[in-house]
Amino acid sequence: MTTRLVLKKLIDAVVLLAMVLVFNFFLFRVVDHDPLAKYRGHSKLSQAQRTAIIKRFGLDGSKWEQFVRFVDRTLHGDFGRSFNSTRPVVSEILDRLPNTLLLVGISTVLTIAIGIRIGIRAGWQRGGRFDRISTPFSMALYGTPEFFLGMLFLAFLGAKLGWFPTGGVTNPAAHYTGFSAIVDRARHLVLPVATLTLGYLGSYSLVMRTSMLDTLREDYLTTARAKGLRDRDVMRRHAVPNALLPSVSLIAIGFGFIIGGAITTETVFSYPGLGLATYQAIGNTDLPMMQALFMFSSVAVIVFNIFADVVLTFLDPRIRVGA
Amino acid sequence: MVGLALMTLFVAMALLAPVFANRSELQAAAGRNNPNLHAPNGKFWLGTDEIGRNVFALVMWGARVSLYIGLLATVVAVVIGSVLGLIAGYARGWVSRVMLAIDDFFLVLPFIPLAIVLALLLGRSPTIMALVIGGTFWAGGSRLIRAQVLSLRERGYVERATALGASSRHIIMRHVLPGVAPLIIANASLIVPGAILAESTLAFLGLGDRFSPSWGKVLEGAQASGALTLNAWWYYLPPGLCIIGIVLAFTLVGNALERIFDPRLGDR
Amino acid sequence: MSDPLLVVRDLHVTYRSSRGPVPAVRGVSLHLDRGETLGLAGESGSGKSSMAMALLRLVPVGTTITGSVTLAGEDVLAMKPGRLRAVRWAEAAVVFQGAQHVLNPVHRIRRQIQEAIDTHRGNGKVADLLEQVGIPRWRSDAYPHELSGGQKQRVMIAMALACDPELLIADEPTTALDVMVQAQVLQLLADLQRDRGLAMIFITHDLSVLSTVADRLAVMYAGRLVETGPAKEMLRGARHPYTKALAAAFPTIGDQSSRLAPSGLAGDPPDPMAVPSGCPFHPRCPIATEECAATMVELHEISPGWEAACLKL
Ligand SMILES: Nc1ncnc2c1ncn2[C@@H]1O[C@H](COP(=O)(O)OP(=O)(O)OP(=O)(O)O)[C@@H](O)[C@H]1O
Ligand SMILES: [Mg+2]
């Protein structure tokens, strides 16, 4: 039963990924009648140069031929060359991927773990002291664009107080080795991670709090209390697991926003990852780069969502039997 | 209540911008004779930016742009979301399934990268930004409305009306729409803050219109000009705080509306 | 064994709501002997569940309970939280209204029953308990949604018996079930009650189901008792006009359509926030006079062991 459900989810994922592929193709070719118009210095090109470039970026032939070639190339990991650096887009992305994985990975884990805890506690003791402090705090965080938060961190903790470096991933002036190199890297991570974590903490804790409040109305919580369970056990065994379920998919959808947040956060801290690459691609109107980055983030979000769906299938017995 | 007061303040800011600051003050040339990155004083209440423009004027006019884009984007998102949600909920069979798939697709697509791509391809004027944001922001609302339509169906109004020979259009206009309208309104007031945040993010990433700077655009300028390391707080604090304020205002009002329309949520 | 298991005196339950305090129970006194079954009847909203839940202080935060509840000689309302937890389920267990939602959907039923046993360090066996209520042992691995409504109610009953309580509060245990199942569950409860010597408070809006189980009846209206007496006699000939109307409303067991609008009763039960003056039933009462609107009546004995709150009796 479970395998079949997981299989179904995987098929859904493949359909979504195929939709992304098609969408991507049309987005970049149909919307734009003259793809070269965005190529810097295009007006000075000779006809021969034009044809060469068009060929190089796969823009020749009928739309259908282009599409087939596009799919073929994409599946082989060939996204063309960056308009800007003329290096293969894939190498650009692979170079920067580790930095982003580190930043987004740590922040996602932190923001989900902390956000859920805050939400649980605030919801459980609605109107209590913790709730009265944490909920306005969460609201304020929710309302704060993460890049503004990053700017504040940079200005005060970075520039003014000098506690943390204000950008990059390492200190280029010093040539650290071994342990001090790790410390240096970690110091460069602190502010971006804090920014991205706090930037999305508010929405996660609010979502979890609401879910908790919904669960608290459930009759089975009265049953648990009537059985003589301690409050702590009522919460741990009955309220939390049930409140987590509906938030799983919201958390997964929220991952798409964290990806967006990584773009601005990396921009604020000149942190050389995919987010900064996105910012630079915007500045240079670097379409091949942009296309690959968009494709890449869509795939990441879809994979994350599928993962959440599968997790949910295992957590919620009602889904497992297909109810 | 706080939300309503804040909201009034920002709307007033947007409406009164021309009274306090001439539009020409936004031009790059306007600051030619002013000191650059100057701290606040009697003439420049919020100091000047890196090319000598009056930050106060930028922030006042920013309210206009941010609100305009936020509201227009919301209208677009609500219209698309409602229409698709109504159809998805009302239709049966493959139409409904296809709509759901499209909805799913837009729900999982990472919003900011998508909007970046669209803005990059389509242009950067405030109206286009609003269309871009609205056009990518509707999936959640359409999902909600579909669910509501389905529950209305279950209550049997629709079946009864169909049995009486009413046309689909009549049924949607007379029976379904009134049922979902409160939901649409509450949902809209919660889309506004999201749209404003999205706009500020896009503007911050350089996708804003240079000639009608929103708060996000001002923040971009602050970031790029090094105002952060130069400790020029008057440049980046006001627009940032304005964004927080307006988002909170709409969120609070939205939550209140939701509570009014759905008393079940009353004790949240 | 001489003093009663449960004595309730002048119980008031007031909920807090956004519209202000909601006095759902307004001065109820009753008593229950060991092994005795009290049928508690009344329309929807009359405060039956509120009264019953208050016996174990199972009310939302912010609700005030006044009066006194003495269970096996101990004052429940004065208990410290630890003692209260120990008393819950071990001395008095509840079969809740609405079987569909009272079991936690994400845990297997075995775990939920075991949890009650473990909390009170009991030594009941889940499989035995399930068998007693007519559910095969192997079903203990099921999740609630895999069971039918009647089965869920049986599981709930098994769970209530897990710690061998002296008192069972059954809050409309059959209401959500269809007629056949209703009769089975009713019979099950009656058998268990007899075999185990349980005291039971059996709540229903439907007087007719009480004939099989109850020794005594108490009828509630607008948060107060209006009549209480021996079940057989009362079912044969109720005295209070409200009880008469209620009895007329449910000629057969489990007629669902009459649940919210009993045919013998015109009008709606009063909103607990705007209870009529005098006798709260007077606006709907066929024999009410001007006097009834002005005078508040208490329960008074109308024949031995039979009390009613009506000026005309
Ligand atoms: N948590 C609460 N907050 C406010 N009012 C409540 C609450 N719970 C119940 N009430 C109100 O108290 C009154 C009595 O409710 P109660 O559930 O005790 O009635 P009941 O006799 O059990 O009815 P039913 O047959 O429908 O179960 C009702 O008017 C109800 O609206
Ligand atoms: Mg009840």
Cβ-defined contact of B207 to A282 (cutoff 8 Å): yes
The residue whose C-alpha atom lies closest to atom 2 belonging to ligand 1 is C15
At residue C50, the pLDDT reads: 94
CATH for C6-91+165-308, options being 2.60.40.10, 3.90.1200.10, 3.40.50.300, 3.40.50.620? 3.40.50.300
Query: A94-128: per-residue pLDDT in tens?
Result: 988 999 999 999 999 999 999 999 999 999 988 88
Cβ-defined contact of C58 to A321 (cutoff 8 Å): no
Using an 8 Å CB-CB cutoff, list chain A residues near B263.
none
Q: Which of C86, C96, C119 sits opposite A223 (nearest CB)?
A: C96
Identity of the amino acid at A315: L
At residue C159, the pLDDT reads: 92
DSSP 8-state code for residue C5? S
At residue C261, the pLDDT reads: 47
Q: Is A284 on the interface with B (CB under 8 A)?
A: no
ipTM: 0.85
Using an 8 Å CB-CB cutoff, list chain A residues near B205.
263-264, 267, 278-279, 282
- Tokens of residue C97, six digits: 């209204």
Which chain C residue has its CA at the smallest distance from A218's CA?
A: C101
Cβ-defined contact of C102 to A222 (cutoff 8 Å): yes
Min Cα distance A210 → chain B (Å) is 7
Q: Is A308 on the interface with B (CB under 8 A)?
A: no
Query: C105-119: per-residue pLDDT in tens?
Result: 889 999 999 999 999
Which chain B residue has its CA at the smallest distance from A153's CA?
A: B228
Cβ-defined contact of A302 to B107 (cutoff 8 Å): no
Min Cα distance A312 → chain C (Å) is 12
Tally the domains of chain B: 1
CA distances in angstroms from C46 to C43, C85, C237, listed in the order given? 6, 28, 22
The residue whose C-alpha atom lies closest to atom 17 belonging to ligand 1 is C49
Q: Is A121 on the interface with C (CB under 8 A)?
A: no
In residues, how long is chain A?
323
Identify the segments of chain B with pLDDT beneath 50: 266-268
What is the Cα–Cα distance from A238 to A241, expressed in whole angstroms?
A: 6
Which chain C residue has its CA at the smallest distance from A243's CA?
A: C106
Q: Which-ligand-closest: CA of C54?
A: 1
Tokens 């609107």 map to which residue? Answer: C293
Q: C238: CA distance to ligand 2 center in Å?
A: 23
Give chain A's domains with CATH numbers: 85-322 (1.10.3720.10)
End-to-end CA distance of chain A: 12
Q: Which-ligand-closest: CA of B267?
A: 1
Interface size, chain A vs chain B, as Cβ–Cβ contacts under 8 Å: 143
Q: Examine residue B247 and state whether it is found in any structural domain, yes or no.
A: yes
Residues with CB under 6 A from ligand 1: C 15, 17, 22, 24, 42, 44-50, 60, 97, 205, 272
Q: C179: CA distance to ligand 1 center in Å?
A: 25
Ligand 2 is an ion; its neighbours by CB within 5 Å are C 49, 97
Q: Which of A145, A290, A300 sits opposite B120 (nearest CB)?
A: A290
Residue from C58, C76, C115, C145 to probe the interface with A (highest A Cβ count within 10 Å):
C115
Cβ-defined contact of A242 to C104 (cutoff 8 Å): yes
At residue C78, the pLDDT reads: 92
CB B172 within 8 A of CB B90: yes
Min Cα distance C255 → chain A (Å) is 25
Q: A181: CA distance to ligand 2 center in Å?
A: 67
At residue B246, the pLDDT reads: 86
DSSP 8-state code for residue C55? T
Beta bridge partners, C221, equal: C224
* Helix, strand or coil, per DSSP, at residue B199: helix
Identity of the amino acid at C92: A
Q: C45: CA distance to ligand 1 center in Å?
A: 5
Interface size, chain A vs chain C, as Cβ–Cβ contacts under 8 Å: 74
At residue A245, the pLDDT reads: 86
At residue B188, the pLDDT reads: 84
At residue A298, the pLDDT reads: 87
At residue C114, the pLDDT reads: 93
What is the Cα–Cα distance from C98 to C177, expressed in whole angstroms?
A: 9
Identity of the amino acid at B54: N
Q: What's this model's pTM, rounded to 2 decimal places?
A: 0.83
Min Cα distance C194 → chain A (Å) is 23
Q: Is B2 on the interface with A (CB under 8 A)?
A: no
Q: Examine residue B36 and state whether it is found in any structural domain, yes or no.
A: no
Using an 8 Å CB-CB cutoff, list chain A residues near C94.
223, 226
Q: Examine residue B251 and state whether it is found in any structural domain, yes or no.
A: yes
Quote the domain boundaries for residue B180.
Answer: 2-7+47-267
Task: Please report, in tens digits, the pLDDT of each residue of chain A (323 residues total).
Answer: 567 777 887 888 888 888 888 888 887 765 554 555 555 555 666 777 767 766 666 666 677 787 888 888 888 878 778 877 888 888 888 988 999 999 999 999 999 999 999 999 999 988 889 999 999 999 999 889 999 998 888 888 877 777 877 777 777 766 777 777 777 777 888 899 999 999 999 989 998 998 899 888 888 999 999 999 998 999 999 999 989 888 887 788 788 888 888 999 999 888 898 999 998 888 888 888 888 888 888 888 888 888 888 888 777 777 665 43
Q: C202: CA distance to ligand 2 center in Å?
A: 11
The residue whose C-alpha atom lies closest to atom 25 belonging to ligand 1 is C44
CB-based burial, A137-174: b 16+ in 10 Å, e otherwise: ebbebbbbbbbbbbbbbbbebbbeeeebbbbebeeeee
Map out the domains of chain C as residue ranges: 6-91+165-308
What is the rounded average pLDDT for all residues in chain C?
A: 87
Q: Which of C86, C108, C146 sits opposite A228 (nearest CB)?
A: C86
Q: Examine residue B33 and state whether it is found in any structural domain, yes or no.
A: no
Min Cα distance A248 → chain C (Å) is 15
Q: Is A207 on the interface with B (CB under 8 A)?
A: no
What is the Cα–Cα distance from A137 to A149, expressed in whole angstroms?
A: 14
Q: Please, what is the Cα angle at C99 between C95 and C100, to 5 degrees? A: 155
Q: C1: CA distance to ligand 1 center in Å?
A: 34
Q: C25: CA distance to ligand 1 center in Å?
A: 9
DSSP notation for C256-280: GGGSSS-TT--S-PPPTTSPPSSST
CA distances in angstroms from C110 to C63, C129, C155, listed in the order given? 33, 10, 9
Query: C234-292: per-residue pLDDT in tens?
Result: 888 888 989 988 888 765 544 454 444 445 566 778 888 888 888 889 888 888 888 88
Residue C99 has pLDDT above 70, yes or no: no
Using an 8 Å CB-CB cutoff, list chain A residues near B247.
142-144
Min Cα distance C241 → chain A (Å) is 34
Query: C154-184: per-residue pLDDT in tens?
Result: 999 999 999 989 999 999 888 777 888 888 8
CB A1 within 8 A of CB A318: no
Q: Examine residue B106 and state whether it is found in any structural domain, yes or no.
A: yes
CATH code for position B198: 1.10.3720.10
Cβ-defined contact of C145 to A241 (cutoff 8 Å): no
Q: Which phi and psi angles does B228 have, rounded to 5°?
A: -70, -50
Q: Examine residue B182 and state whether it is found in any structural domain, yes or no.
A: yes
